[in-house]
Amino acid sequence: MDSLEKIERLHNRISMLQVVTELEVECKTSSFGIPKQTVIYDAKTVTANYLENEGLKFPVIAKPLVADGSLKSHKMLLVFNKDGLRKLKPPIVLQEFVNHGGVIFKVYVVGDYVKCVKRKSLPDVNEDNLGRLESYLSFSQVSNLNTCEKKDDKYYKLMNLENSELPPLGLLGDIARGLRRATKLHLFNFDVIRDNRVGNRYLVIDINYFPGYAKMPNYERVLTDFFWDVLNRNDMGFKSLKEVRVLVGNNGCGEDEGTLPLSPLKMEENEKPIRV
């Protein structure tokens, strides 16, 4: 559906988030951006001083530069102090770890359709404890931990997803529309966290092409409608696609929970229909 060349941009964690920094979205009550980050190609260059010069302080997350969906590309390190820096295997992206209350918002985009689902994430790190912690913690695919793993874990037992407030839906819709226009992609999702230091600042930390839509409530209907529209676009034209609806569920179970119509996403006048 989408061109490989355009998808390629999402396979590198720097170019992937670069697009977010270029978006022009106005929101009076909140702001958005990406975490501070730097790319490391040579392990020798990573020192505590280097981090400081880059405006980064511990804890930091080390993510493989390549984000191609392979097992390796999901292997991450949460680095608490300078000893942990020795474990890094470039090429990597070092990103500030932003406390976000242990909740991540996964925003699924299917053409004009946008849906936000809450998921449990890494817990906050108390800076006062940095000295007492191990130098690093390795992890992989936090958002894919299965429900049983989460149920057994003391931290996850304490979490109460239901009480966590969603980001402003207008903002998510605007970011989704901006990303769609900038990337010219139709099928992707992005991960958003709320910066606890600020409260109403949202950070996009990850964008994935053709994510596991099975985790999106009502995905069969949404995807079928989308492909139906694409197939019929010669008769209908993309402009006549249905109005965007941002559906928001708190745990991905309630299909119509929190349904909220936003202003329609209009295709750019000059955007050519996709050829299938």
User: Which residue ranges are tagged as binding site for 1D-myo-inositol 1,3,4-trisphosphate?
Assistant: 74, 106, 208, 212
User: What distance in Å separates the CA atoms of residue 229 and residue 224, rounded to the nearest whole number?
Assistant: 8
Structure tokens at 53: 């010069």
Span interacting with Mg ion, options 2-10, 81-89, 204-212, 221-229, rule CB under 5 A: 204-212
For residues 194 and 241, which CB has a smaller minimum distance to ligand ATP in the complex? 194
Phi-psi region of 87 (alpha: psi -120 to 50; beta: other; left: phi over 0): alpha
CB of 245 to ligand ATP, least distance (A): 24
Q: Which does 104 bind (CB under 5 to 8 A by kind): ligand ATP, Mg ion, none?
A: ligand ATP
Structure tokens at 253: 């179970």
Residue type, 124: D
Contacts with ligand ATP in 76-95 (CB under 6 A)? 95
Q: Does 35 bind Mg ion (CB under 5 A)?
A: no
| 192, β-bridge pairs | 105, 204
For residues 159 and 262, which CB has a smaller minimum distance to Mg ion in the complex? 159
Q: Does 38 bind ligand ATP (CB under 6 A)?
A: no
**60-64 and 187-194 beta bridge pairing:** unpaired
Write each residue from 170 to 199 as x if it is in contact with ligand ATP (CB under 6 A), else as -, in one continuous string.
---------------------x-x------
User: What distance in Å separates the CA atoms of residue 118 and residue 116, rounded to the nearest whole number?
Assistant: 7
User: What distance in Å separates the CA atoms of residue 166 and residue 118, rounded to the nearest whole number?
Assistant: 8
Sign of the alpha-carbon dihedral angle for 146, 151, 152, 158 = positive
For residues 14 and 130, which CB has a smaller minimum distance to Mg ion in the complex? 14
CB of 141 to ligand ATP, least distance (A): 4
Q: Which of 206, 211, 217, 241 touches Mg ion by CB under 5 A?
A: 206
Binding-site members for Mg(2+) are: 191, 206, 208
Please give the full DSSP string across 19-37, using - where no structure is assigned. Answer: HHHT-----SS-EEE---E
User: What distance in Å separates the CA atoms of residue 124 and residue 65, rounded to the nearest whole number?
Assistant: 24
Binding residues for Mg ion, rule: CB under 5 A, are 191, 206
The binding site for ligand ATP (CB under 6 A) comprises: 35, 61, 63, 67, 74, 95-98, 100, 104, 121-122, 141-144, 191, 193, 205-206
